[in-house]
Homo-oligomer: A and B are copies of this chain.
Amino acid sequence: MNTDRNRIFVYDTTLRDGAQGEGISFSAGGKEQLARRLDTFGVDYIEGGYAGSNSSDMAFFEPLRKKKLRHAKLVAFGSTRRARTPVQKDPQVASLLAAGTPVVTVYGKSWKLHVRDVLRTSLKENMAMIRETVAYLKDRGREVIFDAEHFFDGYRDDPDFAVRALAAAAEAGADTLVLCDTNGGSLPHEVFGAVRTAVDLFDRPIGIHTHNDMELGVANTLEAVRAGAVHVQGTMNGYGERCGNANLTSILPALVLKMERTCLRPGELKKLRDVSLFVDDLVNIRHWPKAPYVGRSAFAHKGGAHVNAVKKNPHTFEHTDPATVGNERHVLMSELSGGSSVLLKAVELGLARRETEEGARDILAALKAMESKGYAFEAADASFRILAQKVLKKHRSFFDLEGYRVIVEKRGKEEPCIAEATVKVSVNGEVEQTVAEGEGPVDALNGALRKALTRFYPSIAKVHLTDFRVRILDPEESTAAITRVLIESSDGEATWGTVGVSDNIIEASWEALVDSVEYKLFREEERKKPGRRAPSKRRGGQRRAKA
């Protein structure tokens, strides 16, 4: 099975253990999006959630059973059967099967304290729970991963008992035995020693699952791999309860770049920063600038001497080439991202050729000016394109704004809140004024704008918003802070993102709405031109050519 002796199997639990983190929650659509992104990335196992514990996790498995993942195996997570309950009558074990995944992960106790104080059952019954649950699931054709919860605490307390819990799972046929530092309280050399023992004792893959409560989550995982573990569990960006799970975003590059292990699909490590940002965006949390490898500051140089030395030879102050993880060097007099990416982006969008670096430089200057105001174009390709067209003087505007007004009103505590928007635009000198109500001010504004433009541009009727995200920048300034609105639109064929920034959320939303409509109209016009193809938006062949 594992022909490559250096192969490490990556097990992502962002959707399950990661979701235990403070402030982390995924929408149903977001879960599926993440699973597909991780699949492309080359993760081997994707733990989708608890089987049974709540219906939203169960619902997640459904679409992925229909439209399968390409590489990764989907995993349902649950515990061993309850004490004194026949395994075939345990509802939780039944839902592990009902999830219909090829792999199930079952956690069981390997620390006497937990058997006594939490399960409140006998040590013997604990072993039976492990053995019977694993055997039952194996009999039904599942790949079974056994998570020995609190393994290292248990091993410290009574090594023999902890090892016997592993043996119970192994004898019952568990495919992988995973040692968990559930409380995150173990030191690297302790992890190394215990993993080495398990590797020596058992004839099957040993896995590792650590937490970051002592800021040792990554170290403990890497030490486990050095001791012979070949299966690594963790979460993207280290999401997870308390101080988080072992951070795959730091572990994966260390395995590949520093320890010569094999994992992920070829070439995908270069997308590490993209994936990391994607996950943060999905749950709408702020990217951690100091994050190793992927953070904005990870390759930032402040001291003049360092910058100088790095210019002479990057190895002097960089342990890794930032490009290997999709990041870039960052010199701190400018707060902003570098220029080569802009050129690449402009090429990708069909706005520039490699030769015309000239235009790219102008775009970069405009981009930096926008970024300093709070704009972010990572998820707003369409706004970037419109900006670039304006710089290159290739932009024409399809309508002029004469004005808008939004009213939100509530007449009494129990009364509904009403939102109404009026919009006045002119197209080739012809003025159109419309009014619409909506669920909220932005919805009303969106309705009025589309109403006004559909008369002139009927295709606008097909455009609808598929995502709408708001981030407040400079939170210290609270409600008066700058608001960034990201909108994703679709016409049923293509999907595009736009951005707006203002200290007024309505104005920021308006900007993003206008960009969205203009992009649609522009694309349409371009498509009509004979002999020209609209540039492909995402995952184009062009991107591959550049990489």
Contact = CB atoms under 8 A, between A and B. Distances in A.
Interface of A: 20-23, 25, 27, 29-30, 53-54, 113-114, 117-118, 182-185, 187-189, 212-220, 222-223, 226, 238, 241-244, 247, 250, 254, 258-259, 284, 286, 289-293, 295-303, 306, 308-309, 312-313, 315-320, 332, 335-336, 376, 378-379, 400-413, 415, 417, 419, 438-443, 446, 464-476, 478-481, 483, 487, 502-507, 509-510
Majority secondary structure, A binding face: mixed
A124 B377 CA distance: 41
A205 B136 CA distance: 58
A312 B465 contact: no
A224 to B, nearest CB: 12
A223 B410 CA distance: 60
B410 A408 contact: no
Nearest to A120: B312
Given A218-B216, A242-B299, A502-B417, A472 B478 contact: no
Given A188-B219, A241-B303, A479-B509, 5 more contacts: A27-B476, A185-B319, A214-B218, A403-B410, A465-B478
Given A20-B302, A443-B480, A504-B408, A401 B378 contact: no
Nearest to A447: B479
A335 to B, nearest CB: 7
A29 B319 CA distance: 35
Contact of A478 (B27, B400, B468, B478): B468
Contacts of A336: 20, 53-54
Contacts of A222: 187-188, 216
Give the number of times this chain occurs in the complex, counting copies: 2
B408 A441 contact: yes
A411 B197 CA distance: 74
B247 A483 contact: no
Contacts of A408: 405-406, 441, 504, 506-507
Contacts of A27: 473-476
A470 B470 contact: yes
A320 B292 CA distance: 26
A110 B262 CA distance: 32
A446 B479 contact: yes
A406 B403 contact: no
A317 B182 CA distance: 8
A400 B182 CA distance: 49
B405 A506 contact: no
Contacts of A510: 410
Nearest to A297: B22
